[in-house]
Amino acid sequence: MGKTIDIIKKTRSIPDSVKENMKAFNKIKRQILKSLETEEKTVPQIAQEIGLPLDVVTYHLMTLQKYGNIEAGEVDDMDEFYFYKLKK
């Protein structure tokens, strides 16, 4: 008799909608990381460069920060946004 997880893997499949969502999620994260390769940027700068709304960029930045891919730097001159940079 097999392990429960092996049986579940064989009998269940991942829905196509979940696969598509993961592809979109990873694409946005790659775009943000590429944007930060050259210099530190704020959320609005990144959003404008990659053509996505501020809330979407903010969500992905927080995810990238949570998992140690990026870090927040100084605050901009207007004291509104942090500059984000790749973590070394």
Mind listing the pLDDT tens digit of every residue in the chain (88 residues)? 568 888 888 888 888 999 999 999 999 999 999 999 999 999 999 999 999 999 999 999 999 999 999 999 999 888 899 999 999 8
Question: Domain 40-88's class?
Answer: mainly alpha
Task: Taking the CA atoms of 77, 37, 62 and 31 in sequence, report the sign of the dihedral they define.
Answer: positive
Question: How far apart are alpha carbons 33 and 57 in whole angstroms?
Answer: 11
- What is the pTM for the complete model shown? 0.81
**Domain limits, the chain:** 40-88
Question: How far apart are alpha carbons 28 and 14 in whole angstroms?
Answer: 21
Question: How far apart are alpha carbons 11 and 9 in whole angstroms?
Answer: 6
